Amino acid sequence: CSCLTLENTFKCYDLENGPTMDVELSRDDALAMYTQMLEVRRFETLAGNYYKERKIRGFCHLYNGQEAVAVGMKQRLRSCDSVITAYRCHAWTYLMGVSMHEIMGELLGVRSGCSRGKGGSMHMYSDRFYGGNGIVGAQVPLGAGIALAHRYRKDNGVAVVLYGDGAANQGQVFESYNMAKLWCLPCIFVCENNHYGMGTHVRRASAMSEFYMRGQYIPGLWVDGNQVLAVRSATQFAVDHALNHGPIVLEMSTYRYVGHSMSDPGTSYRSRDEVQAAREKSDPITSFRSQIIALCLADEEELKALEDKTKKQVDSICKKASTDKEVELHELHTDIYSKNVDGKIRNVSGFNLEHIKLAEVCFGKPRRTPACEINDVPVGAAIDVAKAKERKAEQEAKKAKEDAKGKGKGEPKGADSKPPKGEDGDKKKSSATETPAAKTPPPTKKPPAPKK
């Protein structure tokens, strides 16, 4: 473990004390974070290449240059905390537990995709990760709602809500600030300020560009978002603050090297020199690399080997994903409702598509809709089916009883010698006939406790 002191990394707003400036860094943590940043950078580079080869379609927003924010924050989030972010979500999806294979699969629209080719670049989900969101700013109230759920359940979790400097001007961001403060929600608002909302520089979009002060009545913290250790320290501080005092706004100052999305070369509104200067002066990966070496946590050779290994690994994973088969056509009409009560789904012409439910069988990682929630009330045809089953079970039970009685009368001696056998048979029969009805419990039954 090594110790170092952070410099010029924080500015406080309405806070008595900021995060600790003296931080410890273990060799394991250092290498873990360094590897993650390398993986994310390499992944995004490959995604960009696939896009140029037209293997990836539509929108594709890359994270190059902003890696320290996601990697640093994830280091200090606990397993009970939730995250929701905007459309630039590949890095967060990976850090929240989806494999690179599944993410690349989703970008390529193949079977292994984590959203089965239904989401694409902006819509990927995982356990306690509520996605990218394609609507600028819409994830902010959603995240406040997730924070409300944490407080409602008293599960000690916090919700991390990330948005860009462009989204920071959306009205719903301020609506969310207001309610988060009123209700003291354990919510960390994180403005990832990469200085451009699409092609508009912050100075042309925001009357006040100190985003950490924009919560007005919510304390804020400016963080050098290119320094992974500063991000990590700020996150620890924010989690403690959110749990004890309610919401906080973090502004992570960072820079994106690539265009807004793949269709933006990123050169008309800023100079190549500006991008080059950012790469040279404040790249999160190279600056962390020199820190690791300065602290003698690893040597040049070791890091070089790590870089080569990571690059090879990411390359082979992505290459593998690119050979996966396309999503099958029938998945077009899967999982529109978690409980479909409509008959058929309308095709281009005519109602002839069956609603298919893949959620329970297709993949295990994201939170499945628990079966108990889907079946707790029989609705529509299910009511008739449940009733018919109940009736049938009753009739059969009755019949079985009568049969047993008849037997008892017909063979008094036999009944005398083995009465328990007849009863056993009865029980078995009735319980066997009752099971199917029990699968769709009648409305009188209380639903099982939520498994979340």
Partner 1 sequence: KQMTVRDALNSALDDELARDDRVFILGEEVAQYDGAYKVSRGLWKKYGDKRVIDTPITEMGFAGIAVGAAMAGLRPVCEFMTWNFSMQAIDHIINSAAKTFYMSAGAVNVPIVFRGPNGAASGVAAQHSQCFAAWYAHCPGLKVISPYDSEDARGLLKAAIRDPDPVVFLENELVYGTAFPVDDKVADKDFVVPIGKAKIMRPGKDITLVAHSKAVETSLLAAAELAKKGIEAEVINLRSIRPLDTATIFASVRKTHHLVTVENGWPQHGVGAEICARIMEDQTFFELDAPVWRCAGVDVPMPYAKTLEAHALPRVQDLVDAVLKVLGGKAGKAVAANK
- We find the least distance from the C-beta atom of residue 165 to partner 1, in angstroms, to be 20
d(CA 159, CA 80): 9
Asked whether the beta carbons of 134 and 122 are under 8 A apart, the reply is: yes
- We find the least distance from the C-beta atom of residue 142 to partner 1, in angstroms, to be 4
- We find the least distance from the C-beta atom of residue 169 to partner 1, in angstroms, to be 14
| Burial environment of residue 451 by CB neighbours within 10 A (0 to 12, 13 to 18, 19 or more) | exposed
In the bound state with partner 1, the residue whose beta carbon lies nearer, of 275 and 385, is 385
User: Quick check: helix, strand or coil at residue 236?
Assistant: helix
- We find the least distance from the C-beta atom of residue 141 to partner 1, in angstroms, to be 3
- In 3D space, the residue among 366, 368, 391, 369 whose CA is nearest the CA of residue 442 turns out to be 391
- We find the least distance from the C-beta atom of residue 138 to partner 1, in angstroms, to be 6
Q: Which two tokens stand for residue 78?
A: 């606990």
Q: What does 45-103 look like in DSSP terms, one character per residue?
A: HHHHHHHHTTSS-S-----TT-HHHHHHHHHH--TT-EEE--S--HHHHHHTT--HHHH
In the bound state with partner 1, the residue whose beta carbon lies nearer, of 133 and 193, is 133
- We find the least distance from the C-beta atom of residue 247 to partner 1, in angstroms, to be 13
d(CA 136, CA 86): 7
User: Given CA atoms 263, 205, 168, 212 in this order, what sign does their dihedral have?
Assistant: positive
In the bound state with partner 1, the residue whose beta carbon lies nearer, of 311 and 365, is 365
- We find the least distance from the C-beta atom of residue 251 to partner 1, in angstroms, to be 21
The rounded Cα 43 to chain-centroid distance in angstroms is 18
d(CA 287, CA 292): 9
In the bound state with partner 1, the residue whose beta carbon lies nearer, of 24 and 328, is 328
Asked whether the beta carbons of 81 and 128 are under 8 A apart, the reply is: yes
| Conformation bin of residue 4: beta by default, left when phi > 0, alpha when psi is -120 to 50 | beta
- We find the least distance from the C-beta atom of residue 233 to partner 1, in angstroms, to be 27
In the bound state with partner 1, the residue whose beta carbon lies nearer, of 240 and 376, is 376
Asked whether the beta carbons of 291 and 303 are under 8 A apart, the reply is: no
In the bound state with partner 1, the residue whose beta carbon lies nearer, of 10 and 130, is 130
User: Quick check: helix, strand or coil at residue 190?
Assistant: strand
d(CA 104, CA 110): 9
Question: Which residues contact residue 302 at a Cβ distance below 8 angstroms, ignoring those fewer than 6 apart?
Answer: none
The 10 Å CB-count burial string (b at 16+, else e) for 59-72 is ebbbbbbbbbbbbb
Question: Which residues contact residue 404 at a Cβ distance below 8 angstroms, ignoring those fewer than 6 apart?
Answer: 422, 423, 425, 426
- We find the least distance from the C-beta atom of residue 414 to partner 1, in angstroms, to be 44
In the bound state with partner 1, the residue whose beta carbon lies nearer, of 337 and 424, is 337
In the bound state with partner 1, the residue whose beta carbon lies nearer, of 151 and 232, is 151
- In 3D space, the residue among 97, 128, 127, 98 whose CA is nearest the CA of residue 113 turns out to be 98
- We find the least distance from the C-beta atom of residue 436 to partner 1, in angstroms, to be 20
In the bound state with partner 1, the residue whose beta carbon lies nearer, of 65 and 109, is 109
- We find the least distance from the C-beta atom of residue 429 to partner 1, in angstroms, to be 28
In the bound state with partner 1, the residue whose beta carbon lies nearer, of 210 and 376, is 376
